[in-house]
Every structure is written in structure tokens, then in C-alpha cells.
Amino acid sequence: LTDKLPDLQAGTDHRGIDIDKVGVTNVRYPLQIPLKDGENFYTVANLSMTVRVRHVEIGTHMSRFMQCLNSTAWKFTPYSVHQVLSDLRERLKSSYAHIKMEFPIFLDRIAPVSGEIGIMDYDCYYEEEQCTDDDQTLSLRVTGVKVNVTTLCPCSKHISDRGAHNQRSEILIRVWPIGDEIVWFEDLIEIAEAAASCPLYPVLKRTDEKYVTEKAYDNPRFVEDVVRELALNIEERLQGQIVMYFVSSTNRESIHNHDAYAEICRLVEYKGS
Amino acid sequence: LTDKLPDLQAGTDHRGIDIDKVGVTNVRYPLQIPLKDGENFYTVANLSMTVRVRHVEIGTHMSRFMQCLNSTAWKFTPYSVHQVLSDLRERLKSSYAHIKMEFPIFLDRIAPVSGEIGIMDYDCYYEEEQCTDDDQTLSLRVTGVKVNVTTLCPCSKHISDRGAHNQRSEILIRVWPIGDEIVWFEDLIEIAEAAASCPLYPVLKRTDEKYVTEKAYDNPRFVEDVVRELALNIEERLQGQIVMYFVSSTNRESIHNHDAYAEICRLVEYKGS
Amino acid sequence: LTDKLPDLQAGTDHRGIDIDKVGVTNVRYPLQIPLKDGENFYTVANLSMTVRVRHVEIGTHMSRFMQCLNSTAWKFTPYSVHQVLSDLRERLKSSYAHIKMEFPIFLDRIAPVSGEIGIMDYDCYYEEEQCTDDDQTLSLRVTGVKVNVTTLCPCSKHISDRGAHNQRSEILIRVWPIGDEIVWFEDLIEIAEAAASCPLYPVLKRTDEKYVTEKAYDNPRFVEDVVRELALNIEERLQGQIVMYFVSSTNRESIHNHDAYAEICRLVEYKGS
Amino acid sequence: LTDKLPDLQAGTDHRGIDIDKVGVTNVRYPLQIPLKDGENFYTVANLSMTVRVRHVEIGTHMSRFMQCLNSTAWKFTPYSVHQVLSDLRERLKSSYAHIKMEFPIFLDRIAPVSGEIGIMDYDCYYEEEQCTDDDQTLSLRVTGVKVNVTTLCPCSKHISDRGAHNQRSEILIRVWPIGDEIVWFEDLIEIAEAAASCPLYPVLKRTDEKYVTEKAYDNPRFVEDVVRELALNIEERLQGQIVMYFVSSTNRESIHNHDAYAEICRLVEYKGS
């Protein structure tokens, strides 16, 4: 029956304008995340899928995006994205396809003194684009995390006779892996927490609260310090694995109604043998 | 060690003011949803947990909320809430405890003509409170869904020579079940979709798009119609199962930059035998 | 021309169901706020306007809501709401009408030591409903503010050898004034800031930062303390002016990824002469 | 007194890492918008202000951002941004400074048949960055709008026997003006509305509703059509005024729970005399 209905999008457009990205956005979809410890975590992604449309084409076929995605139904993972992008390029006859998505994961976190176990939420990010030129297909991937942490102000500590203001801060990391390199979300989370005054915990007993309060006080960090520590750690730990990174730190300042912010975006020099 | 650190919250407050609700909010937590078909869906909840604090108490113990929740870790379901509330009341020595949470679920949806299968997201709600008075424990539960649908304007259809404006609309249903009655999210979703001009679908081929366009055109509904249909269907289908319901309908009007809205909240008369 | 087009909403509904609220929501509108110092502040409100629809009516006339609102165009204030509600009830032949709105205001704030002047943003709330019964019209109003402040944890201070965790916290106050009593947003903001460990400031030089750090350290407050202080201050300062109040305090905890929360809702006893 | 307190940020950092952007974000601030008709509109901006920090510097001085902004207090406009950026570069001794902000404006809108006047809200965007190199200062500006409109699906209209699905859609335009060229928000809004099936209106009587319903039906537009029309109109109307533009269109699909999306970003060829 579909074949008998006219297909407007199959016609020719005469305005001469290529469209960079056309597709579906704000799609919620169930997702499995393979964790570093071998487990799988089931979560919910918010994703977008787009392709390039050449100037002669009227448009794309929106239903095929969802069909390509649904071919992975109930077993969709970040590793499926590569195949979905190939399918999209083929079924939509496009030289370029792009998927990006955000989703929470949860990891066990042990309170530093009491050993009390809790579950902590982290936001993750995955993006992949494929571009075909002649008979070559280029692929670009981005892996990222958004991790909340504690930061304590070095200036406030230095000038005050008692106490120091501190706050919940948001660290954002995005890295561009080389080739097929896998960068684990867990490693990026570790890098983020190491750059802060102290990590956050889901459960803290009084002994733990004493510990994290004093740890943050002993590790004061400006937003500037946080992004520099992130940069140093990423360049050291992911050397040879990534071509670029972006990091930012946003303090929900406890003394202001606005935020303090810093960001660094940098290509990684290849220091090969 | 914890025992040796002073416990401020264990003291006595002298301001003479009871606090209605104290606890943790904005907690993200992994959740399993038992579906009507016997399957389990793994999702992510945003939840809050609170208890009442009497005027003589300085405050509550925040870490115990997370400990009570974590006793259900990786197997937390809406059915766990009852036990978590009992634990909270006991561990926090409170006469009242309350949990509410929101989370998405996904259901298979079949396109009406082509039979194409897709996965559709719905937002669900669950709330429970327990109150102890003398030796009696009262429990109150709320089950709800937020379902997006199509609505088509009867007035626009009636006065226009061609077409009729329509839009994505949000239906909210919350019901207060009697005793231990289970009201399935799937049933509330069915009620919501039946009250609209047409349900939404994740995948529609051209034959399906023709079908849903014409179905919506043949079923025009004002926001007023939608809430009345919801009320009628709920009173009929859930008769004897609930004591109260709240329904609302919000049109993201395609001809205005604001929304059209209607709501009904009503106690259900018991029509016993 | 309008008169010649059929008016569907003017018909009779046979489902027998009253609708509690029907109208427009998510309307953005320019608003003037008369401040306590005699100045006017121009801001932007997000508002909703609804009326009751009786069971025999098909629905309401959505365009008349915007017409009633636009009769106040460019000079709309919270004091206009009373007249707009009267107009709504008359033009829509309804026994009940309701408006609620949220909007930011800005106030000068002077840094505590340096005297540096800045402008600080606060979120305000205003709600009014009118209900006619026989020849009596009842009116109910709610005035509120959402004020961010600093809170410092008493437990963390007490058990730690150095420092104490603190954070940006959100205080919500809503009061129900008696009769025509005017409760100023500025007074509610003052009550909110007095209940915290320290207010927030838009500009702080180093001398000020030392001051606010030490002030917060010297004034530790649990969320429980904050709502109790709010309750005490409201009952004292607004005695005779209000019939009810709701207060809440939400700490964006600097050591957790979730929030700590407390709320009190209470009728105010009339202590007349 | 400030001078006597140690200034940590004035020291030297030894990690050797430049920071691209450091400053304050999420600042709400009152703003005046000079409109094309000569009037001024008072609104509220959400803005961020950042500078570059060289590797030898420990960090920036956050309070000076707010001081530079406050020097414009109660008379801050997009035209003030240029001076604030110069002040920032000078007071913070930085070679680069950047401000971006979003804010709503309201314009009178006349219903197409009845002539009924209403006020419609639009979101605007303004961004400026200054970079000094040797004795040259480069300045880059971005002006933008976010405009909601109606779009009606050409495919649905073509294949259906009656009606066609339509929805509220969001159009985003950002343009990079050449030199000191002023591009009015009102002109970008006009371009956005011309690319849609029909503009939105704050008030529509029944005659107007008939008009907009039929107008949208007579002007079906895919997201692909919308961005192409935007591109054509911008290249024609703003020729010689801008160096680059970005446009996107997002349909809040009335038949799906996800959105349809298209975007074009393009350098504008200079077609000089």
C-alpha cells in the first residue's frame, strides 16, 4: 500500500541548498551500557539522529531513522551506534550520518571511613559521526561524562579565620578517541573526581562526613585549578588514545546566585615512538 | 567510631515547631518496573523520601534515608516502597513517611496499518505515604502517568474550509487506589490514549501517517473534551478500585505560543452492591 | 464576521461533568512590579489563567482570556489581577476564576564590608482566585518568594577539625494574606535571608568574602533549622496579616548529589485583642 | 582593607596550561532593548562573561566581572556589551573577553482578520567577543532569535483525504554581522515567520482561527523546507550585512513523541560591486 501512496520526499528540490543535518531529535530510548567490570547497566537515553541531505533532494525519510534504531531494540548499546550509522547512510543514501546521546549510569560508591555502600548517578555522553568521501569512510567519536563534585575555595580558606565556602560543582569532560580506542566512562569519572576538592557520595555516616569535610578543606580548588588538573590528568592518562578533549568546571557558588566557570579545549599532541 | 562523634540531631529542640516533611529530594535511583505482561523493565527514577519530625527533635538522620533505600539496591520496585516506608518510620522513629517518584517506561507500539513495531516512552508516577496513629497504620498511594497524544481542534475543523489545527498534547492522570488495589500503568496509558484525537506512535510509514491524520480529523477534541472523556473512562473502568482521581490535559497549541489547559479532580462515589 | 461563524463552545454538553479549571497556561507577559521604595520594576511573568466550566457548557472561550489580559497591556501589575479576574468571571460567565504567575525581580545589594553595590535577582510568586456564591464574592490570594541563600551544616562543623560543608540553598515562602493586606516581596526576602547561615551577594570583594565565610561558619543551620526560623519569623512579623503559610528549604548539598529538604505548612492562629 | 588581605589569584601558576574561558555564568540581569520603532523594552537576561587566562596566571578576579557589569546598572543594553568587554580586558589584563546572553522581548501582534491586538513573546540572543593581538582588536558578534511558528506537513496533506497534521515548531536563527552592521531582532523574527506555514498569534477570534488554519493548510512545510526558506531569505535580505548564519527548525511533531529537526550553517559569499 505504501508504494501506491505518492512519496513527496522522493522528488527533486530546485532551491540548490544542501542541508547539513536532518533527522529526529529528543528521542528517548532504552539503552544497555557495558561496564568496565563486565556487567551491563540498563538505562534510558535521550538521543538525536541526523543525516546530510543534498541540494537536489526534497528531504529525508523520517520513519527510516526510527526503523534503523528499532533494529537494535532492547539490545541497543553505544557499540551499536556504528552499525546504525552505516544503516542510516545506506537506507537514506546519505554521505554523512550522526548520532549523539546522553544517559545516566549508576556505580557503587563506598563511604571512605564507614565503608557504607551506596549507588551514585553519573551522566554520560556518546556521539559518533560517519562521513563517506569517494570510497573512504571517516568516523569520529566523542565520549563524555558530567560529574558532580565538591570544590572548596582556596581564597576563602586563605583569608578567613574559620571555615571556607564550598559547593556542589559540575565537571564536564568530552574526549575524541583515536580510531577504535575505547575510553571507559568509569575512567573519565575517576579523572573528574580526582580533580576536585572531594568526590560526592550517596551515603555518608558521621565519620565519613568528618572525613570529606576535612579532605575538601585540605584540597582547596578554584575552577581554574579544576580544569588544569583535568587537562593534566587527561593528557597523561589518555596519551595516545585521544586526539582532542574539552573540559569545563561550573561552581554553583555557595556565596553567589551565579556560577563560576572555566573551560579548556585542546588538541592532544601525538608523542609517538 | 560513629558512636564516639557527637550526634547533634539526637538533641532536643526548644522552638516548639513540628516539621511536616524532612528528608532527601532529587535522588536518582535505578528502578525495576514489573509490567502487566510479566516482563520487568529497568529504568531510572527521580525520587524524594521524607518523614515527619516532632517539635522536640532537632532533626532527622539524612544518611538513614539512603541506607533504607540501598537495602533494596538493584532490585528496587514500586512494590518495595511499602517496606522502605516501614523501615524509615522505624529507623527514624517517625509517625509518618512519604516517598514519591517519577520514571519513564517503554512499551512496544505497532503502527496501525503497516504493522511496523516501535518502542514508545511514557512517564510514570508512584507515591505512597504511611501514617501511624495509636496502633493503626494508614497507607495512601497514588499511581499516575503522563502521556503525550494528538488533539485536533473541533472549532478549527468546523469553521475552516480545509484542514484543522492539531498538536502534541500532554495528558496527566493520577489515581488514588483503594487498599491494596493494583492499577497498572499500562491501563492508565490506554485510558489516556483513548481520550485523545489519536495516540502518538514511534514509527509511522506513509500508510500509517494517512491513517492517523484522518483519525485525528475524525475525532476532534477540545481540552475540555479530553478531561471529560478521561473522567468518564476512569469512573467506569476503575470503579471500585480508586477513591479519587486527578486528570489534566495541556495542548501545546500549534496556533499560539501558550498552552490550553483543563483539569478535573474528583472523589469517586462508591456504588457498592 | 465572527458572529456568522458557528460557535461550538456555545452549545450544551450532555456528559454531566463540571470542569474545575479551564484556560491558558505557560503565557509569558510583561509585568510591572511596584516596589516598597516607590519605584517600579519592569519584568517578565510566566502565568496561567483559568475558570470553572459548568457541566452543561461545552467549554470556555480561550481568546477572551488573552483579551482580558491585554486590556492591561504594558501596565499589568499584581494589583491588576483582581480586576482581570472580575472581567474573566463576567465575560466567561463563570463563578470561579484563578490567576497565578512567577517572575524575577532585582534589588540593590550592598556588600557587607566593602560597600560595593550590585544587583541581585529573586523569584517572586503571586496568585489570586475569586469565587462567587449567591451574591458573595470570596477572594483568596497567595504571595511568595524563592530566595537562594548559603547554609552551613552544624553537624559537619561540630565533628570536623577544620572547615564545614556549606552550599547554595533554595528557600521557598508562600503566605496567604488576610483580606486586602499587602505583604511585600521585599519583606519575605528579608525573612528568608535572616533564616539562613548567610545571604548571597552579587559582588563580594576579598574583605566581604572573609566576612561571609566567617558569618556562615558562625551561623550553622540544618534545613530543619531554616524552616523553623522561617516559621517563627513569619508568625511574629506577619501576625494579623496572614491566615496560612508554607515554607521549604532545599540544600543543594555540597557533599551529595541529592538535596536535603524540609517543609512546614501551617494555619496561623488569630491572636486578636 | 582588601589590599592587606593576601591575593591568591595574583600569584604565578606553574602547570603551564592556558585556560580558554574563565568567568561567571548563569547571571540574571535587567536589560533594556532598543526596538526598531524607537521604543525601549525592559527585560531580564541570562548571561555569561568570560576571559582568557594565560598559563602563568593562577586565575582571574571573579568580582571584577560583576563590577564591570554593574557599571552599566539599570541601563545595560546590547550596545553596552562592547564597552563592558573592553573594561573586562583592561581590568583583568586579558587578551580575550566574551559575553553571551539570552532574553525575551515582546512585540504587538495584530490578529489577521479581526485586527485584535495582543502581545507576543520572542526569545533573543546576543553574543560578542573581543580578541587583542599586537595592537589590533578583533570583534565578533552574533545576533539571534528563537521563534515559535506553525508548520503543516506536506506529506500528510498530500496523502490524506482530509486534514493534515501540524504543530508548534521552533525556529532558531543566528547571524554573524559584518563590522558594525546592526541586524534587528525584529527583522530576524520576520524572516523566521515568513519561512513557516503560518506565524503564531497571542489572540485569535474565530474568523482569525479560520484564516490561520487555512493559511497553514495552503502553505505546507517540511523542516527541510523551513531551513531552506530561512537560508534563501537571509542570503537575500541580509546580503552584505553578515558573514555567516546558522538556522534550525524543530517540529514538536503532533504524531510522534520525538521531534523532527533540520539545520544549515553557512558562510555567506561576498558579492561585492
Nearest of C88, C185, C90, C178 to residue C139 by alpha carbon? C178
| Nine cell digits for residue B194 | 483513548
Least Cα separation, residue A20 to chain D (angstroms)? 5
| CA-wise closest residue to A264 among A233, A223, A231 | A231
CB contact under 8 A, A263 and D20: yes
Chain B residues within 8 angstroms (CB to CB) of chain A: 1-2, 5, 7, 28-30, 41-44, 63, 66-67, 70, 73-74, 104, 106, 113-114, 116-119, 121, 202-207, 210
pLDDT at B48 over 70: yes
Asked whether the beta carbons of residue C70 and residue D1 sit closer than 8 angstroms, the reply is: no
Give which of D257, A28, C26, D217 is closest to B168, Cα–Cα: D257
Contact criterion met (CB < 8 Å) for D206 and C42: no
Tell me: the pLDDT tens digits for D192-202? 999 999 999 99
Please say if the pLDDT value at position B218 is more than 80: yes
Residue type (1 letter), A100: K
- Residue among C210, C125, A261 at smallest CA distance from D48: A261
With an 8 Å Cβ cutoff, are B163 and D167 in contact? no
Give C10→chain B minimum CA distance, Å.
Answer: 11
Give ∠ CA D40-D42-D43 in degrees, rounded to 5: 135
SS3 B249: strand
pLDDT score at C135: 83
Best of B119, B121, B214 to disrupt the A interface (most A CBs within 10 Å) is B119
CA atoms of C234 and C189, how far apart (whole Å): 11
Tell me which residues of chain D have a pLDDT lower than 70: 1-3, 270-273
A interface with C, Cβ–Cβ below 8 Å: 120-121, 148, 150, 152-153, 155-157, 159-168, 198, 200-202, 204, 206, 209-210, 212-214, 216-218, 252-258
Q: Is the dihedral of CA A124, A263, C170, A189 positive or negative?
A: positive
Q: What is d(CA C87, CA D127) in angstroms, rounded to the nearest whole number?
A: 42
Task: Look at B224 and C264 and tell me if their CB atoms are within 8 Å.
Answer: no
**The pLDDT value given to residue C267:** 95
pLDDT (average), residues A188-205: 98
3-state secondary structure D197-211: CEECCCCCCHHHHHH
Contacts of B237 (CB under 8 A, 6+ apart): B187, B191
DSSP D154-200: HHHHHH-SS---EEEEEEEEEEEE-TT----HHHHHHHHHHTSSEE-
Separation between Cα atoms, residue C127 and residue C21, nearest integer Å: 14
Q: Flag residues of chain C having pLDDT under 50.
A: 1
Question: Which residues of chain D have a CB within 8 Å of the CB of C1?
Answer: 113-114, 207
| pLDDT for C24 | 98
φ and ψ at A46, to 5 degrees? -110, 120
Q: Distance (Å, rounded) from C-alpha C64 to C-alpha C79? A: 20
- Specify the DSSP element, H or E, that contains B22: strand B19-34
Q: What's the pLDDT at A134?
A: 79
What mean pLDDT is reported for chain A?
95
In angstroms, what separates the C-alpha of C95 from chain D's closest C-alpha?
A: 23
Asked if ipTM goes beyond 0.90, one says yes
| Per-residue confidence band for A11, with pLDDT thresholds at 50, 70 and 90 | confident
- First-to-final CA distance of chain D: 62
The pLDDT of residue B7 is 83
Closest approach of B273 to chain C, Cα-based (Å) = 23
User: Could you count the other beta carbons within 10 Å of the beta carbon of residue D232?
Assistant: 15
Name the phi and psi angles at D195, rounded to 5.
-85, -5
Residue B163 pLDDT more than 80? yes
Reported confidence tier of residue A233, pLDDT bands at 50, 70, 90:
very high
Q: Give the gap in angstroms from C-alpha C254 to the nearest C-alpha of chain B.
A: 14
pLDDT given for residue D271 in this prediction: 62
Which residues on chain C are in Cβ contact (under 8 Å) with B164? none
Among A148, A213, A252, beta carbon nearest to C257: A148
**DSSP of chain C, one letter per residue?**
-GGGS--GGGSB--S---EEEEEEEEEEEEEEEE-TTS-EEEEEEEEEEEEEE-TTB----HHHHHHHHHTTTT---GGGHHHHHHHHHHHTT-SEEEEEEEEEEEEEEE-TTT--EEEEEEEEEEEEEEEEETTEEEEEEEEEEEEEEEEE-HHHHHH-SS---EEEEEEEEEEEE-TT----HHHHHHHHHHTSSEE--S---HHHHHHHHHHHHHS---HHHHHHHHHHHHHHHTTTTEEEEEEEEEE--SSSSSEEEEEEEEEPPP---
Contacts with D121 from chain B: Cβ below 8 Å:
257
**Min distance A117 CA to chain D CA atoms (Å):** 35
Please report all neighbours of B, defined by 3+ CB atom pairs within 8 A. Answer: A, C, D
* Radius of gyration, alpha carbons of chain C: 23
Percent of chain D with pLDDT over 70: 97
- Cβ distance C5 to B231 less than 8 Å, yes or no, reads no
Judged against a pLDDT cut of 70, whether residue B102 lies above it is answered with: yes
The C-alpha cell 488495589 sits at B181
Please report the DSSP string for chain A in residue order: -GGGS--GGGSB--S---EEEEEEEEEEEEEEEE-TTS-EEEEEEEEEEEEEE-TTB----HHHHHHHHHTTTT---GGGHHHHHHHHHHHTT-SEEEEEEEEEEEEEEE-TTT--EEEEEEEEEEEEEEEEETTEEEEEEEEEEEEEEEEE-HHHHHH-SS---EEEEEEEEEEEE-TT----HHHHHHHHHHTSSEE--S---HHHHHHHHHHHHHS---HHHHHHHHHHHHHHHTTTTEEEEEEEEEE--SSSSSEEEEEEEEEPPP---
Q: Would you call A203 and B118 a contact, using CB atoms and an 8 Å cutoff?
A: no
Of C156, C168, C210, the CB nearest to A213: C156
Residues on chain A touching B24 (C-beta within 8 angstroms):
none
Return d(Cα C218, Cα B229) in angstroms, integer: 58
Q: Over 90: is that where the pLDDT of A2 sits?
A: no
Mean pLDDT, range B185-192, rounded to an integer: 98
Rounded Cα–Cα distance for residues D101 and D99 (Å): 7
Pair B97, B106: CB distance under 8 Å: no
- Is the model's pLDDT at A3 over the cut of 60? no
Answer for the pair C253, A168: CB distance below 8 angstroms, yes or no.
yes
pLDDT at B272: 56
CB D169 within 8 A of CB D250: yes
What's D65's DSSP letter? H
pLDDT at A270: 65
Strand B96-110 and strand B259-267: the pairing is unpaired
Max CA distance (Å), chain D: 81
* Long-range contacts from A107-112, C-beta under 8 angstroms, 24+ separation: A107/A35, A107/A186, A107/A189, A109/A199, A109/A201, A109/A202, A109/A203, A111/A201, A111/A203, A111/A204, A111/A205, A111/A208, A112/A201, A112/A208, A112/A211, A112/A212, A112/A215
